[in-house]
Every structure is written in structure tokens, then in C-alpha cells.
Amino acid sequence: MQKYFHTWYVFCPRCKTSLEYDDHSTRCSSCGFVAYLNASPGVGAIIEKDHAILLVKRKFDPHKNTWDIPGGFLNSDESFESALHRELFEELGVEINIVRYLGSEADEYNGRPIINTIFLCTIVSGTPVPTDDIAEIQWFDRENMPYNDIAFAYVKKIVQSYINTS
């Protein structure tokens, strides 16, 4: 993880002294400020209906115009579950039920480390329509997933894993 951070923060945000680094944190020897530079938590949904999985086309970079699973980053006061409910409503206008936890994958997003957790979900209310940062939605048959056009390596991995084990 070290590679991400040594170039990010040069000076202490509190007192402007040059920072010192170790493998897990960035420290100020002057005022004691410590930044623990963990991965940013995200959450995503695999939604299956009639042997098809819902993917969303990204409207913006990174990976603009490639397929992704719906989801996003947690706000600072959210659980994974509440963030997933919020993101799916914002992006698709649907209310979901979380069926079960599928797993988590580390990756990077705009050069910063992320940890994404993925849940199997069903839609309980609403018909998905693309809004917010989604350009388009499509249900892909299990046997015809667009693996060569999926935004993130971890998304491809988790979708393949889900299909191979369910």
C-alpha cells in the first residue's frame, strides 16, 4: 500500500511541517498528526433475474463507457448496507433487498486504493432506469457477459466467481 501514499501528502495538513512515512501511516513529527491511509470502502450489487445480471454503463471516467456493477463509495457515516440501498436508489431508482454477502476485492480507483464489498441483491420496488452517473443499463445473460468490456478487474473477477458458483 505504501506506493500510493508517499507522493500524496507532502506537508502536514495541520501545521505544514514536512511529513514522515512508514508502511501504514503518514506522520508529522512536529504536531503529532497521523493519517492512517486505509483503502476507501465501496459497495456493489450483483442483481440477477431470469438468468441475467444487471450491469450499468459508466457515464464518467475512470473507465467511462465500460460496464460495471451498480454501487459506489460509502459516506463517512454509512454502513455497507445503507450505502448500497442509497446508491442503488440514486443510480437506478430502485429499492433493493440484500440477499447475501458475496465477498470483497481490493483494487484501485483513480490511483487510490479501494476495498469493494459485493452483495447479491434483488429489486423489491421500481424498474431500473439509468440516472446519476450511469449512462445505460442492460441485463446480460449469464452465458453472454461482456467480460472484455468490464470496468474493473475486481468486478470481472467477482461476476465470474458468482456465475461459476451459483
Compare residues 12 and 84 and give the one whose CB is closer to Zn ion.
12
User: For residues 28 and 83, which CB has a smaller minimum distance to Zn ion in the complex?
Assistant: 28
75, with CB counted inside 10 A (0-12, 13-18, 19+), is exposed
Q: Which of residues 3-32 bind Zn ion (CB under 5 A)?
A: 12, 14-15, 17, 28, 30-31
* 113 contacts 1 by C-beta, under 8 angstroms: yes
Q: Does 94 bind Zn ion (CB under 5 A)?
A: no
In whole angstroms, give the CA distance from residue 95 to residue 30.
49
In the complex, least distance from residue 32 CB atom to Zn ion, rounded to whole angstroms: 7
Select from 80, 55, 77, 48 the least CA-distant residue to 135.
55
Q: How far apart are CA 78 and CA 63, in angstroms?
A: 26
Between 28 and 155, CB nearer to Zn ion: 28
140: contact with Zn ion by CB under 5 A: no
Q: Which residues bind Zn ion (CB under 5 A)?
A: 12, 14-15, 17, 28, 30-31, 33
